[in-house]
Amino acid sequence: MGGAGLGLAAGCAVATCAIAAVMVGHRVRSRRRWGRAVALVREFEEASATSVGRLRQVVDAMAVEMHAGLASEGGSKLRMSLTFIDNLPDGSEEGTYYALDLGGTNFRVLQIQFSGKGSMILTHRVQRQPISQELMTGTREELFNFIASTLKQFVQREDDGIDQIPDVRKDLGFTFSFPVRQLSVSSGLLIKWTKGFSIKDAVGKDVAQCLNEAMLKTGLNMRVAALVNDTVGTLALGHYYDVDTVAAVIIGTGTNACYLERTDAIIKYQGLLMNSGDMVVNMEWGNFWSSHLPRTPYDISLDDESPNRNEQARLSSGFEKMISGMYLGEIVRRVLQRMAEESDIFPDAVQNLSVPFVLRTPLMAAMHEDGSPDLREVGRILEDHLKISGVSLKARRLLVRVCDIVTRRAARLAAAGIVGILKKIGRDGSAGVASGRTKGKPRRTVVAIEGGLYVGYSMFREYLNEAVAEILGEEVAPPCLFSALLPAIVIQHYLKQMPSCPDYLVQNHPHCQVLKQQAVDSLKIKLFHIKPFLFLVSSTPK
């Protein structure tokens, strides 16, 4: 009995020890797995580092590539295309204009009245029309006939009382956001369709001419006077509000930039360009590449796996993939997937995290900007959108750190790109007082920035603005960076009397004062929609 009791006691002790050993083993393994997740994030952070020194190397590389792209066709990955826009609006424009904006699933027709005084818009009317799937994949005749007849109905409806001389042919501004080889300010050949469009018989054709023919057929007395892309539109809009605007950058689904260049610096077209002065150059900077870009294994695998998966991803290049809204969420997903594979911090999530592009950038931004102490929003997004539950608070914190690394790198690289443009045109302060130093008389420089990522993601914007000032150094006055859409947001702050309202935006933009009573959403739409008009104004001979 005693023996049996002893035996039982001994058996219990062995079992307890075994259980304890198992528990300790679990804890050690779990700590090791957590340690692995942290190590992965640390490695990623190191590989993504953007010290000021490295950013300055990117600045130099951007300026060098710009020179090379201007020197010869194909001389650089930067295409540096001519736009034939040599005159930008300055706020003194007057009269009624029509424009058309085609670049996605909707197209818009617009009518706008400029006051002629101090960048003031009197009225603007917009009609938005969806483009059906059939039209997106049909024939060019069907698409352009549809656009022309919608425009005709709009003009007939809106013209009453405004048009002083109804029989005179009207000019039309056409914002066409697909790749085009520009032939003149009002003509250009479609290189290829993107964004779900596939109208084969339009490729290689002059899209302005296609529209002109359709307008003629429908009996609409109008002609395309300006054909532009969205980057040039942003520059025009920036210049309309502030004549010191020298460059424009789009950071949305993709990214691109354009700027004002001296025609004598566009070496590759010296024979072609007769007039001296300036011309807007479309950089196509998404294609920029430099060995100084901090590339991680996740960027490399994104590149390698793109061809079969996604047309846009296949066509984009290094810079765009590190910066733009299409990819930031995807880079985060790739890091999280590896963390899920090599640790246990996202329970049972490997499968859900292995779907490419499942984590969209706006969702990633919302997790990054979750200000709640227990990161409730991060938990909700993981559950609702990725079907991942039971993620601990410390794992959610690690996830936010991954978002921060990706966004910070993107914003700082975009900042380096912007300073690269300023360097190319001698406005980065490196050439002395005249190019932007605060001592002596500074030369004011404004860069217009637009696109959903910059406008909608405040952490991105803060990192970008901060990095521009950091790269330029304390002695140089940083350029004024503004988005035409942002004043609308600023006004909202202004109306709420929030102390953080950046005064320079309100001061620099008279329309802030004019429009401040209106709802923020309608303001955004208003400012966004006037872009094509401004092209038209800038290109119409006075």
Report the site for ligand ADP in 448-487 (rule: CB under 6 A): 451-453, 456-457
* From 365, 405, 418, 488, residue interacting with ligand ADP (rule: CB under 6 A): 365
How many CB atoms are closer than 10 A to CB 10? Answer: 10
SS3 content of the chain, % helix, strand, coil (to 5): 55, 15, 30
Taking CB atoms within 8 Å and a gap of at least 24, the contacts of 157-162 are 158/111, 158/125, 162/96, 162/111, 162/113
DSSP 359: S
Task: Determine the residue type at 125.
Answer: R
Smaller CB separation from ligand ADP, 206 or 320: 320
- The least CB distance from residue 370 to ligand ADP, in Å, is 13
User: Is residue 389 flagged as an active site residue?
Assistant: no
Side-chain half-sphere exposure of 49, counting CA atoms within 13 A: 8
Closest distance of CB 369 from ligand ADP, Å: 8
Examine residue 356 and tell whether it contacts ligand ADP (CB under 6 A): no
Chain centroid, CA 485 distance in Å: 13
Which residue, 138 or 362, has its beta carbon nearer to ligand ADP? 362
Q: Please, what is the minimum distance in Å from the beta carbon of residue 383 to ligand ADP?
A: 20
Residue 256 interacts with ligand ADP (CB under 6 A)?
no
Residue 22: burial class (beta carbons within 10 Å; 0-12, 13-18, 19+) = exposed
**Alpha carbons 519 and 3: distance in angstroms, whole number:** 87
Give the distance, in angstroms, between the CA of residue 53 and the centroid of all CA atoms in the same chain: 25
| Closest to 280 in 3D by CA, of 320, 327, 227 | 227
528 binds ligand ADP (CB under 6 A): no
Q: How many CB atoms lie within 10 A of CB 200?
A: 11
Q: Binding to ligand ADP by residue 426, rule CB under 6 A? A: no
| Residue matched to tokens 């914007």 | 461
Binding mask 273-312 for ligand ADP (x = CB under 6 A): ----------------------------------------
Cα 240 from Cα 242, distance rounded (Å): 6
Write down the least CB distance from residue 376 to ligand ADP, Å: 18
By rule CB under 6 A, what count of residues binds ligand ADP? 12
Rule CB under 6 A: is residue 194 a binding residue for ligand ADP? no
Q: In what order do the strands lie in the sheet with 278-282?
A: 81-82, 278-282, 255-262, 245-251, 446-450, 480-482
- Is 309 a known active-site residue? no
Q: Among residues 120, 124, 118, which one has the least CA distance to residue 97?
A: 124
Task: Round to whole Å and give the CA distance between 421 and 256.
Answer: 12
Q: Which of 48, 56, 76, 108 is catalytic?
A: 108
| Among residues 69, 286, 318, 325, the one that binds ligand ADP under rule CB under 6 A | 325
Residue 233 binding result from ligand ADP, Mg ion, none, given CB thresholds of 5 to 8 Å by partner type = none
The site for Mg ion (CB under 5 A) is made up of 230, 252
Q: Binding residue for ligand ADP (CB under 6 A) from 362, 426, 502, 510?
A: 362
Partner interacting with residue 253 (select from ligand ADP, Mg ion, none; CB below 5-8 Å by kind):
ligand ADP
CB of 390 to Mg ion, least distance (A): 39
Nearer to Mg ion, 171 or 450 (CB): 450
- Residues with Cβ within 8 Å of residue 148, at least 6 apart in sequence: 211, 214, 215, 217, 218, 220
Residue nearest to ligand ADP as judged by C-beta position: 325
- 85 vs 455, beta carbon nearer ligand ADP: 455
Nearest distance in Å: CB 202, Mg ion: 20
365: partner contacted, choices Mg ion, ligand ADP, none (Cβ within 5-8 A by kind): ligand ADP
* Residue 230: count of CB within 10 angstroms of its CB: 22
179 binds ligand ADP (CB under 6 A): no
Instruction: Specify the DSSP element, H or E, that contains 138.
Output: none
Residue 460 CB, nearest approach to ligand ADP (Å): 7
Secondary structure class of 262 (helix, strand, coil): strand
Active-site residue flag, 230: yes
The DSSP bridge pattern shows strands 180-184 and 187-190 to be antiparallel
User: Could you tell which of ligand ADP, Mg ion, none binds residue 452, using a CB distance below 5 to 8 A set by kind?
Assistant: ligand ADP
Does position 178 interact with ligand ADP (CB under 6 A)? The reply is: no
Residue 411 lies near ligand ADP (rule: CB under 6 A): no
119, 177, 186, 539: the active-site residue: 177
State which of residues 69, 252, 417, 429 lies at the interface with ligand ADP (CB under 6 A).
252
Which of residues 445 and 483 has its CB atom nearest to Mg ion in the complex?
Answer: 483
Task: State the catalytic residue, choosing from 86, 230, 242, 299.
Answer: 230
List residues with catalytic annotation.
108, 177, 230
List of residues contacting ligand ADP (CB under 6 A): 252-254, 325, 361-362, 365, 451-453, 456-457
